[in-house]
Amino acid sequence: MPLSLDLKQNFATPITVEYSVDSNMFESMENSLVKGGKLTVGVTAHQAPEGIRLAFSITGKAVVECDRCLEDMEVDINTCEEVSVQNADHYEDAADVVYVDESLTQLDLWPMVYDFIVLAIPISHHHPEGQCNKDMSDKLNQYMVQQPDEENNE
Ligand SMILES: [Zn+2]
């Protein structure tokens, strides 16, 4: 677990850990929307009354398929998220809570970080105008159903 957090530390004083995410980690995810990337993940953990509060700061670049030409493209990621780690005994199904068994010593942060990166990718993403792979976008256009009033737009 390259992004593991030792839960047996004393978080009374906030602890900050920095992790690196590289393309290999995305390749380990099945059917990943994100093909690769290089990101820095900063995590600050501190003890809050309800559990251990984790504040994530994720910056870098993620590689995804362009909507238009399906070639790889990079999107900038710059996102902050917070979750609280709580004992599974008090399960309440809250959105920003990660429930762990009391005996867990190492928490794998990667599934959370992966979700945060995916959430930070714009729903629509494509190369800047005119920078798509032209052969590929021409081919794709042939298969698209064209609306009659759009045919002469280009
Ligand atoms: Zn493109």
Rounded CA-CA distance 31/35 in Å is 9
59 CA distance to ligand 1 middle (Å)? 23
Q: Which residues of the chain have a pLDDT value below 70?
A: 144-154
Classify residue 109 as exposed, middle or buried by CB count within 10 Å of its CB (0-12, 13-18, 19+).
Answer: buried
Range of the domain at 61: 4-150
139 CA distance to ligand 1 middle (Å)? 12
123 CA distance to ligand 1 middle (Å)? 15
Give residue 125's pLDDT: 93
78 CA distance to ligand 1 middle (Å)? 22
134 CA distance to ligand 1 middle (Å)? 8
Give residue 74's pLDDT: 96
133 CA distance to ligand 1 middle (Å)? 6
Domain count, the chain: 1
Give residue 148's pLDDT: 58
Give residue 154's pLDDT: 47
137 CA distance to ligand 1 middle (Å)? 7
pTM for this model (two decimals): 0.84
Rounded CA-CA distance 109/115 in Å is 10
Give residue 28's pLDDT: 86
